[in-house]
Each structure stands twice: as structure tokens, then as C-alpha cells.
Amino acid sequence: MTTQEMAAAGVPALTACCWEAATLDREQVAAVEQLASETHPGAAIIRTCQRIEAYALAACDCPAPARREGLGALRHLSEVAAGLHSAVLGEAQILGQSRRAFDDTDGELLGVGRTAVAAARALRAETEFDSHAGHLLDRGLAITGVEPGGRLLVLGTGAMARLVAERGQAIGFDEVLVAGRRPPRQPIAGTYLSLGGVRRAGPVTVVAGCLGSTANVIPLEALPPAELVLDLGTPRNFAGAAEARVVTIADLLSDEAGRPHSVARRGALRERLHALLDRELASRRETASTPVGALRASVERARRRELARIAERHPEIPPETLDALTRSLVNRILHEPTERLRALGEGSELARELAALFGDGE
């Protein structure tokens, strides 16, 4: 697709420079993060335990091992946001991480991020994923044959550690221990102990490393005896040799790539996501001067008014949850009417009269 064709189709001149982070050590991760920031000023940068990616509206010749442009870059961004490239298919946290990467951008780049995230959100709204990062524990147990039970030791007190600890309780570990440099700020599943005292905790079934990227590497020999060490850190939390089986994020990704059923499902979801993205791009091309654009603009104004009222009445519900719920509901209601308006054509007087029925006088 040429630049002119992309512009006509509403596809931005987006460039995605991508690094896989799961196999990088601490120094390499720091070097890539610095490179991504210094060579992509003003870009949106997604940083997760699996990837570091920079998105910008300009050509780039940085030494990223993978680069995508135009529609390919936009599709990849939506796939990442939907969790289609995550070790746990559809894991929920990546959507928010992708959205927040564009918080400091503006103009067309901000619009690009919103378009990709909207398509990803639409896929999640119609798909039963029922998975989050805590399910990495299930994956580690499955590929090693270790049964849940006995004691689970989780290192870390952040979001990942919280999900893994909760999942450990849910699937049948008898005791969950959570170790950190300082006590968690919010209640967390399990019993807290100091990170410095983990060796004295005694034998456990599984150790799950969920420490942040700034944490010091822990020698494997400093851990208590375990059947399985699950290293979920990027960079890796542990180094050295151990008698226990050690499984990393990279191992989980490799196993997922070798499962035919998983590959097939990801492929089918990718095709559906691309269709949803095409729909979002079509919406971007429709201005208030078109029947569909006028209809959507009117309904969006009404949605935002109601969103403000709901948020005021229910402060206990996170704003982004309310936004996602109301946006999904509106999209579902409007899908069939807008498709019929498009079929009538932009110049159709009937289409304009139907769209005018939803006018709000603004």
C-alpha cells in the first residue's frame, strides 16, 4: 500500500520499532530502553515483561530487530493491546499498558493509539478470555507436570505478584507466602515475610519470581528448596544453578508457540481483530458532514454526558472501567444502524434524515 493509498484509507504513516525483551539480561534491557527513548523522541513506548516497542509517525532507521510500517504497524499495535502476543492469551493488563503508552502523545499519534486500543477493547468485549498474568502460574505448572499443592512462595508485592498469589490460592496451594523488600501497601493473598528471610522459609513446592525491573538479581542457591522455580521477571529475577526446574517467560512463550490449538486460536482472533480495526478506521474517516459521522458524534456527546453523571454517582468504579463499558455498549447498539446507513451512501437524503433523528441540538 502506497503512502497515498494509506492516507485515502485513513491508515496513518505509523512506524513500530520492536524488541523482544523476554530473553534479554539486565544490561541489555537497560540498553534497549535507553535506545528506544533516545532515538524516538515524542514516540509512544510500550514496556512490558515481554516487549519494548516504540511507535512514531515517522520513518526510522534505528537498529531494532523488527520494524513494521503503516497498516502492519497499526495491526501489530492492536494485537499487542488485545493480548494476542502475550504468554497468557488475552491477558487483561496489556490493554491498560498499551493505552497508557500514548498518554503523553497528542494529535494524530494519540488518535492512532486510541484507534488500536478501541479495536482491541472491542475484541475483548466479544471474547471470553478469562485470563490474567496470574495464569502464568498455571502455564508453568502445566509444562513441568508439577501439581498445585503444598507451599507457594511469591517474591514481590506488585501487581504481578498479587495476581500470582491470588491464583495460587485459587488453584489449590495449601499455603501462599509473599516476600518483598517492604510490606505490600494493599492487602495481598498469603502471608507476608521479608525478602531477606526467604531462605529460612523452608521447602516449598514453587517459587515464583515477580520482582520489578530494578530489583537485584537473586542467586538461585539463595532460595529455599523447591520443585519448580518460575522466573516471571524481565530482566530475569534469578541467576546461577539450581536443582529445581527453572522456567522463564521465554520458556512459556516458546511452549505456547508450539501448541497447535493455541496457534490456531490466536490466528482466528487476529483475523477478527483486523476486521474490528478496519471498522475503527472507517469511523475515523467519517466526519460530522456524513450521516454516520453525524450520528456517532451525537451519540458520543450523549455518552460523555452520561459517563460524567455515572462517575459522580459511583466513585467506587474506576473511570476507565466505566468508559470501556459505556463505549462497548454504544458500539454494540450502533453497529447495525451505522452499517445500514453506510449502505445507503453518504449522499442519501434518507440516511441524513435518519441520522438527524439522533441530533441533540448541539
- Strand bridging mode 15-20 / 51-56: antiparallel
pLDDT at 139: 94
Cα(151)–Cα(207) distance, rounded to whole angstroms?
9
Lowest model confidence (mean pLDDT) among 35-44, 131-140, 187-196, 279-288: 279-288
pLDDT band at 300 (very low <50, low <70, confident <90, very high): confident
pLDDT at 203: 96
pLDDT at 288: 57
Cα(327)–Cα(323) distance, rounded to whole angstroms?
6
Pick the CATH number of 1-131+260-285 from 3.90.1180.10, 3.30.460.30, 3.40.50.150, 3.40.1160.10: 3.30.460.30
Work out the angle at residue 353's Cα, subtended by the Cα atoms of residues 349 and 358, and round it to the nearest 5 degrees. Answer: 150
pLDDT at 187: 82
Lowest model confidence (mean pLDDT) among 78-82, 104-108, 338-342: 338-342
Q: Quick check: helix, strand or coil at residue 178?
A: strand
pLDDT at 71: 94
Mean pLDDT to the nearest integer, 154-179: 95
pTM of the shown model: 0.78
pLDDT band at 304 (very low <50, low <70, confident <90, very high): confident
Residue of 17, 49, 62, 210 marked active site: 49
Which is more confidently placed, 299 or 168?
168
Mean pLDDT to the nearest integer, 347-361: 68
Mean pLDDT to the nearest integer, 333-353: 77
Longest dimension (CA), the chain: 78
55's enclosing H/E stretch is: strand 51-56
pLDDT at 215: 86
Catalytic residue at 210? no
By the 10 Å C-beta count (0-12 exposed, 13-18 middle, 19+ buried), 45 is classed as middle
Q: Supply the CATH classification number for the domain 133-243.
A: 3.40.50.720
* Residue 360 pLDDT > 60: no
Which residue(s) pair with 176 in the sheet? Answer: 152
Mean pLDDT to the nearest integer, 321-329: 83
* Residue 3 pLDDT > 60: no
277-297: per-residue pLDDT in tens?
998 888 777 665 677 777 777
By the 10 Å C-beta count (0-12 exposed, 13-18 middle, 19+ buried), 323 is classed as middle
* Residue 6 pLDDT > 80: no
* Average pLDDT taken over every residue of the chain: 88
Q: Quick check: helix, strand or coil at residue 327?
A: helix
Which is more confidently placed, 360 or 23?
23
Minimal CA–CA distance to 79: which of 328, 275, 274, 263?
A: 274
pLDDT at 2: 45
Minimal CA–CA distance to 228: which of 167, 285, 143?
A: 143
* Residue 340 pLDDT > 50: yes
Q: Contacts from 127-131 at CB under 8 Å and sequence distance 24+?
A: 127/90, 127/269, 129/83, 129/89, 129/90, 129/91, 129/92, 131/88, 131/89, 131/90, 131/91, 131/92
Q: Secondary structure of the chain: what % helix, strand, coil (to 5)?
A: 50, 15, 35
The structural domains of the chain, with segments of one domain joined by +, span 1-131+260-285, 133-243, 288-357
pLDDT more than 90, % of the chain = 56
pLDDT band at 178 (very low <50, low <70, confident <90, very high): very high
Which residue(s) pair with 192 in the sheet? Answer: 178
pLDDT at 321: 79
Mean pLDDT to the nearest integer, 95-122: 92
pLDDT band at 331 (very low <50, low <70, confident <90, very high): confident
Cα(32)–Cα(37) distance, rounded to whole angstroms?
9
Cα(208)–Cα(228) distance, rounded to whole angstroms?
8
Cα(253)–Cα(237) distance, rounded to whole angstroms?
17
